[in-house]
Structure 1
């Protein structure tokens, strides 16, 4: 049974490839579109909010592991009003997702919450990250966005299928 879903950010939750480029002030022309002071734009993918809301409703913990500058991630999540969905956000200026996920698990453990690898689902748009996740952290379930699934709501159905 999945108890924790960990999301990548860029090209997984939104269409931009690197929010570390974004400069304040931010402007939201629409609820799911963010524009920075230089005119760069990101758009949340369809059903991201709905998926996060459904995970919360099901009492699944939600985390983020992203290769971005931490202060940029924090500001973008806050501007899009997504920050409240995430129990833990680990944003680092290096690409090693297995280290970020280990940090996420450590933060949960510090608050008394522990997860076995089979209770964790990691969603990223780059399959290249999965090998080290499995090597160092065990058989965490991994989904490659846009290959294994094409809509965020499919995460909910994968969750429901893992419950049976």
Structure 2
């Protein structure tokens, strides 16, 4: 059984993950409007990952006897200045998510909630991967500059990304 405080914070995290999914669909739409299907694919896959994260947290709350409380999801940004701007927005957002996960870990440790602490370790590793991936793409975009051939190659590379649901002990 988890504490009411942890239950509330995990419910907030579910909401944050669902917001992330909507943000990434919004960015996907931005790229589809520009006929950059590889970039659009990258963010569609990102959105699916965020929905998986929310689902994993949903299942965990139920597994430990908590109650899931769905909340309204804020509308994401819909206008972006450039390709680089979308990845800057994404990196800033992922850093915010990392901070939120870290706060959950701090609470779990302060409450001696070792089961939740263990559960959250997967998300800690996931956030390291997320931030590194976005940073890598930003560096590539900076190298590309205005080179349309290089942008075409990156678009092709990002179009290869697929979503594979990670194995989990929860449903």
- Normalising by structure 1, what TM-score? 0.29
Give the structure with the higher percent strand: 1
Larger Rg, first or second structure (1 or 2) = 2
- Normalising by structure 2, what TM-score? 0.28
Give the structure with the higher percent helix: 2
Q: Relative contact order: is structure 1 or structure 2 higher (C-alpha 8 Å, sep ≥ 6)?
A: 2
